[in-house]
Amino acid sequence: MQEKVNKVKAPNRESVELLGATFEPGKPVSETDGRWRQKLTSRSEKLKYLKTGERYFYGAEGYGSEKRKNPA
């Protein structure tokens, strides 16, 4: 896939390279695309996947720029 790079003028700078769309158009062809339950084989892998997702959404710690100064 070819990356599309555009040069644009940024404030207080001359010009910067801006990365364009990086996705491939279309819909997934296979029925199994996007089905995480079939990709993970064991029960422990599935639990690890779910716990990681819960920590991301409900955890007190933040991730880089997503960290809030005042919790919601």
- Flag whether 67 is in a domain: no
Number of domains forming the structure of the chain:
1
Bridge partners of 16, per DSSP, are 8
- Flag whether 15 is in a domain: no
- Flag whether 68 is in a domain: no
Domain that holds residue 51: 35-59
Bridge partners of 6, per DSSP, are 18
User: CA separation (Å) from 12 to 15, 16, 23, 56?
Assistant: 9, 11, 30, 35
- Flag whether 40 is in a domain: yes
Residue 2: its pLDDT value, please?
Answer: 67
DSSP one-letter code for 64 = G
pTM exceeding the 0.95 threshold for the entire prediction: no
- Flag whether 39 is in a domain: yes
pLDDT in tens, 13-59: 888 888 888 877 777 777 777 777 888 889 999 888 888 877 777 76
